[in-house]
Amino acid sequence: MTSDTVLIVVHQAHSTPGRVGELLEARGYTLDRRCPCVEHPELPDPRGYAAVVVFGGPMSANDCHCLAGIRHEIDYAKRVLDDGVPYLGICLGGQILARALGGTVAPHSEQHVEIGYTRVEPVADAEPLFEHSRFFFQWHREGFDVPPGATLLATGTGSFPNQAFQAGDRAYGLQFHPEITLAMIHRWNLGGGHRLGQPGAQPKRAHVKGHELFNAGIDRWTNALFDRMGLEGVPLERAEAAE
């Protein structure tokens, strides 16, 4: 039987899966939240899950030499792919997937960041994936190269050219944050307001306006991605039996 649970990997004690988590729960999935860098150093067998979703965080995917949690997550991403379990990596999670596949992650050469809503451009073969939205929220200072064997899906119009890639049939690495909610925008601006003066950062009012303009389309985009990953939803009779 296919699992009804999605493994959620976050990187800070207070982190949440945001709208990605809400949309998965709306499809009937139960979320198993783990935080390897804080409280769960070992992640469970991925074969027990419908998918693994790895979110962002303030650390770097290059911190594998000093953070056991990041080192473990890179190894775990390889295992998830080897086991054929769908994987979605968001920001740091996408960078971890890139590292696991032999790609590189690095800051911008002139220390630019990407913060706020930006437009991404799908490559020709990936245009159907971006039918519902081409604008997404960003909050990062590092970017990934497309790793060997992966397929570039979307490029950026700003300082970070690689925005999304696919590895195999059901593994995706994203630079942007489809999980962002308005509450998360306020929280990130409060905790990371010092970054808003860096080159490439938009002011908070632009973040709030972007959420108003693009959130509905990003919800549709995320649901379409779940369909591509094989996360069509838990059948009603199974969801009712689990209650």
pLDDT digits (tens, 9 = 90+) for 101-111: 999 999 998 88
- The confidence score (pLDDT) of residue 1 equals 46
* Residues 40, 42: Cα–Cα separation, whole Å: 6
Catalytic site residue 64?
A: no
Contact 19, 222 (CB under 8 A): yes
Average pLDDT, the chain: 94
238 occurs within a structural domain: no
Of 47, 17, 19, 51, nearest in space to 33 by CA: 17
Tokens for 31? Answer: 């979320």
Domain with 203 in it: what CATH number? Answer: 3.40.50.880
Spacing of C-alpha 23 from chain mean position = 14
Residue 146, C-beta contacts closer than 8 angstroms, at least 6 positions apart = 98, 103, 152, 162, 165
pLDDT digits (tens, 9 = 90+) for 137-147: 999 999 999 99
Domain that holds residue 146: 5-233
208 occurs within a structural domain: yes
pLDDT digits (tens, 9 = 90+) for 149-181: 999 999 998 789 999 999 999 999 999 999 999
* Residues 129, 100: Cα–Cα separation, whole Å: 24
Q: Do β-strands 142-144 and 105-107 pair in parallel, antiparallel, or remain unpaired? A: antiparallel
Tokens for 231? Answer: 């996360």
State the alpha helices, DSSP H only, in the chain.
Answer: 18-26, 68-82, 92-100, 182-191, 204-228, 236-242
**Active-site residue identified among 11, 140, 177, 207:** 177
Count how many domains the chain has: 1
- The confidence score (pLDDT) of residue 238 equals 59
Backbone angles phi, psi at 221, to 5 degrees: -60, -45
82 occurs within a structural domain: yes
Catalytic site residue 177?
A: yes
Q: Tell me the mean pLDDT in the region 115-137.
A: 97
With bands split at pLDDT 50, 70 and 90, how would you rate the model's confidence at 2?
Answer: confident
112 occurs within a structural domain: yes
pLDDT greater than 70 at residue 128: yes
76 occurs within a structural domain: yes
239 occurs within a structural domain: no
Helix-then-strand count for the chain, H and E = 6, 11
- The confidence score (pLDDT) of residue 67 equals 80
* Residues 218, 169: Cα–Cα separation, whole Å: 22
pLDDT greater than 50 at residue 93: yes
Q: Tell me the mean pLDDT in the region 110-115.
A: 93
State the pTM of this model. Answer: 0.95
- The confidence score (pLDDT) of residue 55 equals 98
49 occurs within a structural domain: yes
pLDDT digits (tens, 9 = 90+) for 200-230: 999 999 999 999 999 999 999 999 999 999 9
* Residues 144, 29: Cα–Cα separation, whole Å: 30
**Active-site residue identified among 35, 142, 179, 207:** 179
Give the length of the chain: 243
**Active-site residue identified among 35, 37, 64, 91:** 91
Q: Tell me the mean pLDDT in the region 68-93.
A: 96
Q: Tell me the mean pLDDT in the region 114-134.
A: 96
Contact 33, 69 (CB under 8 A): no
pLDDT digits (tens, 9 = 90+) for 9-66: 999 999 999 999 999 999 999 999 999 988 767 899 999 999 999 999 999 999 877 6
134 occurs within a structural domain: yes
